[in-house]
Amino acid sequence: MDKYSVLKRYFGHERFRELQEEVIDTILSRQDLLLILPTGGGKSLCYQLPSLLMGGVTVVISPLLALMHDQVSALKAGGISAAMISSMQTLDEIRQIESDLLNGRVKMLYVSPERFQSEHFLNLLKHLKINFFVIDEAHCVSAWGHEFREDYRKLSLIKELFADATVAAFTATATKEVEQDIISALKLRSPKVFKGRLFRENLTIKAMHRIKDGKAQLVEFIKSFGGESGIVYTFTRKSTESVAAFLNSKGIKAKAFHAGLSSSAKEQTYREFIDDEIEVVVATIAFGMGIDKSNIRFVAHLMLPKTIENYYQEIGRAGRDGLESQTLLLFGASDVVQQRAFIDDLPDNAYKKNAFYKLNQMYKFANSQQCRHQFIAQYFGDNIEPCKNRCDNCLEPERNSIDITQNAQKLLSAIYRTGQNFGLHYVVDVLRGMKEQKILKNGHDRLSVYGIGQDLSKNGWLSIGDRLLEIGAVTIGDFRVYKLTKTGIEILKGLKKVTINEDRLSLKKQKAKAKAKIDTSGYNIEIFEKLRELRLKIAKENEIPPYIVFSDKTLKEMSIKLPKTKEEMLQINGVGEIKYKRYGSEFLELLTQILH
């Protein structure tokens, strides 16, 4: 079979997506490579398909047990022999897999980096015919990345022990520095480097200041999706529990997920989410990395992530099926204070300096009035045009901006007259004439700026402070005190103007709106729901997640084209011969009943 036949037979697609064919050809020519492709871009197919065209077994190294488990299930459902060796299995199960490997009955083997380094496993590999190695989540190799793992650094063993081995490294995000670090650490030989477009055209990105705890904004956002799947990220274990309880009180099926839960509780929540039994998982960053669920329609953050890398990977879990999806970031100035406190505890070195830089970039992104897709692309060294209609800043452009120079001067003056020795909240309290004990003790109630800002809410002043930080008019020094820069002095002197999006000063008017119906392709909602019910029944019978049977995108296409024969069914994107044999006839039968 050629690559096009394999693409249709096993994966149900007529054509390759961006970069897939070039990457596959590079692997088939046995050349090392690094692919940087955003989540949802189809990285897995890039190594799964060539494995089927080559003799021997492909070894996939990944840090994500849940992802490995789901990918093995999906491969088996598609008629491809795959296995994983992990701590989730018994000794007898592992011995059976090893026997299958030695007898050529496994095409793809998934393992963790820790398992890969064990002496027993390395001895096993020496008795296998290996076609190539795959390093998934390759950014974990780099100490300059956002998820550095020491065990990944030791994967240079591949080239040391298997000198002629081909290595294909994959990641969703990498700055230029991280890219070079991956190549060096894995000892890749003259690798081809492929970079996909960072623009996710099916993803709408929004960010806004959090009002109080953000729960009311969050509920309004989630309810507009009508029971579809989503992830909510928050910062602490306690907040995941409280937010999940709040969502349930509002009629939204939600569960918390964090590192403090028992393994069985985490596994149950994960499975209920994968099987569409709950709508929302409220999680710390302990959840979602590597999740293979394709029909996540939204991702929301209730606090500022630590880095652009973290944020981009997390929002990338929405819309993996290519259908329209949305993200919402709710943030406040206090988030930076909290994040900086953690970084302050690190030893003074280059890593700490880099952590501060990444946090500041994240904060600039949240406050920016630039196209959000463009901001992210520039951070990773890519240049794209503004998205026009896929972020809040392009949907609500500069024409909504108002001149806030006078208020900016008031705030800058208050920072200066309090000695540039206080945080933003304190300075704003001075401006608003608050009678806090600390203000009275410091004598700041006698300053000329005391009480001159009573016409604006505290959140409004904090927004102005955020805007001044964004344009470089102030910096945050030690102990999180605000200090004026050269730009700030120029604004004070009336040499520069400051504008801000009007909505950022009218926080109570902000609404986390989403479209009532996410997909606008004209699919038949009633038929789609019946197809989903059948999919869930089949999934439970086969003990696999529903999206492994067929994706939402495939079911929606069925509801539009209404195939009547096997030939017509095989024309549906995502329906290959193997899946048709297993599930196709049941869907054809249902569609026939619907049509009659």
pLDDT over 80 at 506, yes or no: no
Q: Which helix (H) or strand (E) holds 57?
A: strand 57-61
Where do you find CATH 1.10.10.10 in the chain? 405-497
pLDDT for position 95: 94
Q: How far is CA 481 from the centre of its chain?
A: 32
Tens digit of each residue's pLDDT (9 = 90 or more) over 173-209: 888 888 999 999 999 999 999 998 888 889 999 998 8
Strand 499-501 relative to strand 192-195, pairing: unpaired
Please identify which residue in the block is written with the tokens 């919402």: 328
Give the number of other CB atoms < 10 A from CB of residue 55: 8
For the segment 272-289, the average pLDDT, to the nearest whole number, is: 83
Lowest mean pLDDT among 5-9, 113-117, 501-505: 501-505
Q: What is the pLDDT of residue 286?
A: 57
pLDDT at residue 290, rounded to an integer: 53
Binned at pLDDT 50, 70 and 90, residue 106 comes out as: very high
Q: Where in the chain is the domain with CATH 1.10.150.80?
A: 525-595
Of residues 1 and 432, more confidently modeled = 432
How far, in Å, are 94, 171, 289 from residue 66 at the CA level? 17, 17, 9
What pLDDT sits at residue 516?
35
- pLDDT digits 0-9 by tens, 569-591: 999 988 989 999 999 999 999 99
**Mean pLDDT value of segment 487-514:** 73
Q: Could you tell me the pLDDT band of residue 508, with boundaries at 50, 70 and 90?
A: very low
The CATH code that applies to domain 405-497 is 1.10.10.10
Mean pLDDT, the chain, integer: 88
Question: Predicted confidence band at 20 (pLDDT cuts at 50, 70, 90)?
Answer: very high
Cα–Cα distance for residue pair 243/333, rounded to 1 Å:
20
Cite the residue boundaries of each domain of the chain with CATH code 3.40.50.300: 3-195, 205-362
**Which phi and psi angles does 220 have, rounded to 5°?**
-60, -40
The token duo for 120 is 């027993």
> Looking at the predicted structure, is the pLDDT value of residue 503 above 70?
no
**Cα gap 207→176, rounded to integer Å:** 26
Poorest-pLDDT segment among 223-232, 287-296, 339-348, 452-461: 287-296
Pick the CATH number of 205-362 from 3.90.950.10, 3.90.1150.10, 3.90.850.10, 3.40.50.300: 3.40.50.300
Q: Report pLDDT digits (tens) over 529-566.
A: 999 999 999 999 988 889 889 988 899 999 999 999 99
Residue-level pLDDT at 287: 66
Residue 507, Cβ neighbours under 10 Å: how many?
Answer: 18
User: Which pair of structure tokens corresponds to residue 382?
Assistant: 């890519």
Contact 430/418 with Cβ under 8 angstroms? Answer: yes
CA 528 to chain centroid, in Å, comes to 27
For residues 352 and 345, give the distance between their C-alpha atoms in angstroms, rounded to a whole number.
9
Q: Which of 108, 118, 181, 122 is nearest to 148 (CA)?
A: 181
Three-state DSSP at 467 gives helix
Dist CA 448 CA 417 (whole Å): 9
Q: Which CATH superfamily is domain 3-195 in?
A: P-loop containing nucleotide triphosphate hydrolases (3.40.50.300)
Residue matched to tokens 């937010």: 243
Residues contacting 122, CB < 8 A, separation 6+: 116, 157, 161
Confidence tier at 510 by pLDDT (50, 70, 90): very low
Token couple for 372 = 């959000």
pLDDT given for residue 219 in this prediction: 96
CA distance 182 to 446: 58
Architecture of domain 525-595: Orthogonal Bundle (1.10)
Tell me the average pLDDT across 414-438.
95
pLDDT score of 102 more than 70: yes
pLDDT value at position 223? Answer: 93
pLDDT of residue 288: 55
- pLDDT of 34: 97
Distance CA 539, CA 124 (A): 34
pLDDT of residue 313: 85
Q: What is the mean pLDDT of residues 130-146?
A: 84
pLDDT (average), residues 451-476: 89
Given a cut of 90, whether residue 57 has pLDDT beyond it is yes
Number of Cβ within a 10 Å radius of residue 342? 11
The percentage of residues in the chain with a pLDDT greater than 90, rounded to a whole number, is 57
Instruction: Give the single-character DSSP code of 15.
Output: S
Type of residue numbered 164: D
Q: What's the pLDDT band for 520 if we cut at 50, 70, 90?
A: very low
Give percent of the chain with pLDDT exceeding 70: 94
Instruction: Say yes or no to pLDDT of 367 above 90.
Output: no
pLDDT (0 to 100) of residue 69: 83
Kind of pairing, strands 57-61 and 474-476?
unpaired
pLDDT of residue 522: 67
Confidence of residue 518 (pLDDT cuts 50, 70, 90): very low
pLDDT at 140: 85
35-54 mean pLDDT? 91
